[in-house]
Structure 1
Amino acid sequence: MSIMRRFSFNHATAKFWDQREAVEACARTGSGIGLWREPVQEMGLEASAKLVKDAGVQVTSLCRAGFFTDPTQAAIDDNRKAIDEAAELGAPTLVLVSGGIPEGGTIDSAREGVKEALSVLAPYAGERGVTLSIEPLHPMFASDRCVVTTINEALDLAAPFPAGQVGVVVDTYHIWWDPQVWQGIARAGREGRIASFQFADWVTPLPAGVLTGRGQLGDGCVDFKRYLAEVDATGFTGPIEVELFNDALWARPGAEVFEETRAAFARVLE
């Protein structure tokens, strides 16, 4: 069976492309889509849910919640709202980026904040049928965006909760460097916690805007075939989202980026 049946286009890859047009392109090609909260809210939650339902497009994830290393009530409330949005959209998983080190805090206290927030949010997500998907980010983002940097760390945070409530994201861009990554993926599979699988390439030299410098598939050093094999070996057969934060891509027409990304996905997995 063609690998393209598992292709999902994360809307952030064509950030400024109209959400309706992106969904229509996915419908035409039988692709899934990873949605983002901001475009969903701009269109309206009910209208967005109707759009994907009418188009017959699978929503593979909703991005993004989290940022709760300083778990104020406002942050918890916004995360509950994000869980509700995921449930309304039919997204099986809500991607969580933990957040960085709050002012006056330490990386240890920030990680404790993640634990506290999960203890509040995980049961609610379970009630709504949504899996919270902890995304480890590359260590260069630890201070300001995400104090969770490896799959094993994410799995340790998820461990106190049922797998249906809390899982992890396997994102090649963020974990390709980790010498324990294959063991981490195997562990995630054994524990039934692979909730999202995402592709992006790592290119060097690093662009000036590192956050928006993810490479198109095949332009960098990530071994996508091995990632596919390792994840498939766990029994995971779900969608594979391509999520590229890239200024050059964002400046181009969304439809063009969509077709290029599908072609790159097929090429790196041939």
Structure 2
Amino acid sequence: MNIVFNHATFRERADMLSFLRLCRERGVGTVSIWGDEITKTGDSNALAALRDHGLKVSGYNRIGPFLPDYLGRAEAELERAAHFGADHVFLFTGGLVEGERGLIAAKRRVEDQVGRLLEIARRVGVKLAIEPLHPMLAGERTVITSMTSANDLCDALGHGIGVVVDVYHVWWDERLEAEIMRTGRAGRLLGFHVNDWLLPTRHRLTDRGMMGDGIIDLKAIEEIMRRAGFRGGLEVEIFSTDWWARDPGEVMEIAITRCRQIFGDRPEATNTYRRRFEDRNSIRPS
């Protein structure tokens, strides 16, 4: 099992250099990085740390929101992502702009904007990643709120763009299995983000759960992903004020243990610290 850590899970208490070091200490070989954290660290320092720790980059976060001057800024970010060897670059389209009502016109606008970005991405050699978000975020964060919408957009635009499945945002969708299989048949499953949906949910952005603490059938969705042909890693991405407050190394240990328990096979990540965390941080009994 391959575990990928997204820096967003830890960056409140670990800058990029610390994050990369902690990943390497735990045998995690692939990371998902953020452009604003690279800027804080400096491109040369970040590249050197990735190289020294032998880490690969899966996702680069992110392009957007799509404001009027987005193309110029986006081109620089896409070139930077390519320089860092990212497999894919996340698109953060933003929600409705001033004067828009409803989603039909907004989706047409986004399709046009993503199409322009795709021309640049093809030229610099990186893939664009659409990540459908939960419908509750449609107004301010994205108008792509289902796997169906993401697949329709990819169908319209052609090669060079794919989909990242984040369980937090899509677990509710009764068409989820059919749409994941559709994505897989088209060869555009780019990533798989794992976390959990808590009851009650206190905040729509910053109250995601650690795997196993909520109500999502994580193993079932992972099995669909594998049947659809996805061979990538389990990317741990948890936006949570509770988990951000904890020691990032401890959070990594808990996440590794939970992935091992829920998804079965022993993850590639191994280290001398794991044993002391496994017992006390196992999945809560029902």
> Please, what TM-score do these two structures have when normalized by structure 2?
0.88
RMSD of aligned residue pairs (Cα, Å): 1.3
Deviation at 1:13, TM superposition (A): 0.6
1:179 maps to what in 2? 174
- Output the amino acid matched with 1:23: L
Q: Does 1:133 align with 2:129?
A: yes
Alpha-carbon distance in structure 2 between the residues aligned to 1:161 and 1:129: 16
- Output the amino acid matched with 2:139: S
1:204 maps to what in 2? 199
8 Å CA contact 1:60–1:239 kept in 2: the answer is no
Q: Which of 239, 250, 257 lines up with 2:251 in the alignment?
A: 257
Deviation at 1:269, TM superposition (A): 1.1
1:151 maps to what in 2? 147
1:43 maps to what in 2? 41
Q: Does 1:84 align with 2:79?
A: yes
1:236 maps to what in 2? 230
- Output the amino acid matched with 1:60: S
- Output the amino acid matched with 2:187: G
Deviation at 1:225, TM superposition (A): 1.0
Q: Does 1:93 align with 2:91?
A: no
Alpha-carbon distance in structure 2 between the residues aligned to 1:50 and 1:77: 27
For residues 26-56 of structure 1, what are the alpha-carbon distances to aligned partners after superposition, in whole Å with 9 as ceiling and x for unaligned?
2233311111111111111232122212211
8 Å CA contact 2:11–2:19 kept in 1: the answer is no
Q: Which of 60, 63, 71 lines up with 1:62 in the alignment?
A: 60
For residues 231-260 of structure 1, what are the alpha-carbon distances to aligned partners after superposition, in whole Å with 9 as ceiling and x for unaligned?
111222112211000001111121111111
For residues 185-216 of structure 1, what are the alpha-carbon distances to aligned partners after superposition, in whole Å with 9 as ceiling and x for unaligned?
00000001111211110111111x22101100
Alpha-carbon distance in structure 2 between the residues aligned to 1:49 and 1:187: 36
Identity of aligned residues (%): 34
Q: Which of 17, 22, 25 lines up with 1:25 in the alignment?
A: 22
For structure 2, the 5+ residue unaligned runs are 265-286
- Paired residue total: 261
Deviation at 1:161, TM superposition (A): 3.2
8 Å CA contact 2:165–2:191 kept in 1: the answer is yes
Alpha-carbon distance in structure 2 between the residues aligned to 1:254 and 1:129: 33
- Output the amino acid matched with 1:176: W
Alpha-carbon distance in structure 1 between the residues aligned to 2:58 and 2:129: 12
2:112 maps to what in 1? 116
Alpha-carbon distance in structure 2 between the residues aligned to 1:181 and 1:79: 30
8 Å CA contact 1:23–1:55 kept in 2: the answer is yes
- Higher Cα Rg, which structure: 2
- Output the amino acid matched with 1:109: A
SS at match of 1:159: helix
Which moved further from structure 2: 179-188 or 26-35? 26-35
> Please, what TM-score do these two structures have when normalized by structure 1?
0.93
Alpha-carbon distance in structure 1 between the residues aligned to 2:232 and 2:59: 11
Alpha-carbon distance in structure 1 between the residues aligned to 2:94 and 2:251: 29
Deviation at 1:116, TM superposition (A): 1.1
Deviation at 1:89, TM superposition (A): 1.1
Q: Which has the larger share of helix?
A: 1
- Output the amino acid matched with 1:184: E
8 Å CA contact 1:98–1:134 kept in 2: the answer is no
For structure 1, the 5+ residue unaligned runs are none
- Output the amino acid matched with 1:101: L
Deviation at 1:160, TM superposition (A): 3.0
